Amino acid sequence: MPFSGILGHKEIVENLRNMIDSGRMPHAVLFCEKAGYGALQLALATIEYMFCSQRQGGDSCGKCPNCIKNTKLVHPDVHFSFPINASTLIGGDKRGEVEMFYPAWRELVRENAYFNEQELCKAFGIENKLGTISVAEANSIMRKLSLSSYEGGAKVMLIMFPERITIEAANKLLKSLEEPQDGTYYFMVSHNPGKIIATILSRCRIIEVPPIESALLEQELTERLHLNPEEARFWARCAGGSLGKAIGLVSRERDEEGKRPMFVEILGKALEKDLPALMELWEEIASYGKEAQRGLCLEGGEILRKIYMMSLGLDEISYASAKEREMFRNLSGRIKPDFYRKGYGYLTNALECIERNVNPKFIFCDLCNRIFYNI
């Protein structure tokens, strides 16, 4: 990925290029973004530029051996780490070596480098578990970076979602982050920097990645997803500058043609006061994997926002598609005005309980009961 392939973010690209050219690249850089803004693309382009042996016009050449290896994500001196769950490994290998997930990682990045954590877990087949970066993985990181560079240059560790580093693992990494070996670099990409352990956060140069400009996003959606200009403009507005979110929204719209989201089903059964049907729904949700449960709660919050906007007659800024407007219009006239704030609170509480590994049957029984009695 050369700098020229980055969608927008010209100022950040210029700063990264200047830091490398002047030899002032920090040893630990944290790219913070909302999912889909392009932080991973920036990190990968920076790494490729660092290793390129034939830089041209302020960019990597894309043709030298180093560029080819980095494009394929197989450079021997560039390592990757991301949240996994050791219990999903064959034989329950508690070492949890991430190399077992490298093929799925490479395929995911090639297909869509604007993915979120839920999509990463789905690609790894660990939707039923919350991934972490454990002590075993921290030891593996330290071991890899302690070895001599395979090709005699820099060594890089790219960590996805450092907010998933456990306290014990963070303590293992602190010395390496604070006093790295010469030519050793950490790049991190976070979608939730507020949850990163403070001792890790304080040792990084933080780069805030802003939303992608609307015009660029529209053009990309037109070319990538073969949308007409009007469709591209609508989905770009809905996505709020996130290419990853836009791709997900369009894919979901296409895949779920004729289907109602599960949270809409919950609202409908609660309004009908059909408690037995509601019980069946929460039992079904409790059987989902944790990432799917998180996704349902996040989607539920967005659905509530859209319905609330429509109830106020603000269809234009609800960012609901034509299909959604038809689905939500009836709901918007039946839900109590004070429920929206309460409902959002119920969903937030459910998300917190999922993070704390509370029994999902308790979480979603409670969520559905609260909606049933307050909607």
Q: Which fold has domain 3-208?
A: Rossmann fold (3.40.50)
Evaluate the CA torsion angle 301, 305, 311, 312 in order and state its sign: positive
Contact assessment for residue 83 and residue 164, using Cβ atoms and an 8 Å cutoff: yes
Whole-number pLDDT of residue 291: 81
Q: Say if residue 93's pLDDT is above 50.
A: no
Contact assessment for residue 175 and residue 159, using Cβ atoms and an 8 Å cutoff: no
> How far apart, in whole angstroms, are the C-alpha atoms of residue 236 and residue 225?
12
CATH 1.20.272 fits 256-374, yes or no: yes
> How far apart, in whole angstroms, are the C-alpha atoms of residue 178 and residue 202?
10
Q: Say if residue 128's pLDDT is above 90.
A: no
Contact assessment for residue 244 and residue 238, using Cβ atoms and an 8 Å cutoff: no
Provide the percentage of residues in the chain whose pLDDT is more than 70.
96
| Average pLDDT of the segment spanning 119-137 | 85
Interval 28-81: pLDDT, tens = 999 999 999 999 999 999 999 999 999 999 999 999 999 999 999 999 999 999
Whole-number pLDDT of residue 1: 82
Domain ranges of the chain: 3-208, 256-374
Over the chain, what is the mean pLDDT?
Answer: 91
Residue 149 is given by DSSP the state P
| Average pLDDT of the segment spanning 95-99 | 69
pTM: 0.81
pLDDT band for 88, please (50, 70, 90 cuts): low
Q: Say if residue 94's pLDDT is above 50.
A: no
Q: Which of 72, 84, 191 is nearest to 138 (CA)?
A: 84
Whole-number pLDDT of residue 91: 46
| Average pLDDT of the segment spanning 271-296 | 92
| Average pLDDT of the segment spanning 157-163 | 97
| Average pLDDT of the segment spanning 230-234 | 91
| Average pLDDT of the segment spanning 229-242 | 92
**Antiparallel, parallel or unpaired: β 155-160 and 184-190:** parallel
The residue to which tokens 């969903």 are assigned? 347
Q: Say if residue 162's pLDDT is above 50.
A: yes
Instruction: Judge whether 3-208 and 256-374 match in fold.
Output: no
Interval 164-197: pLDDT, tens = 999 999 999 998 998 888 899 999 999 999 999 9
Q: Which of 248, 362, 290, 286 is nearest to 131 (CA)?
A: 290
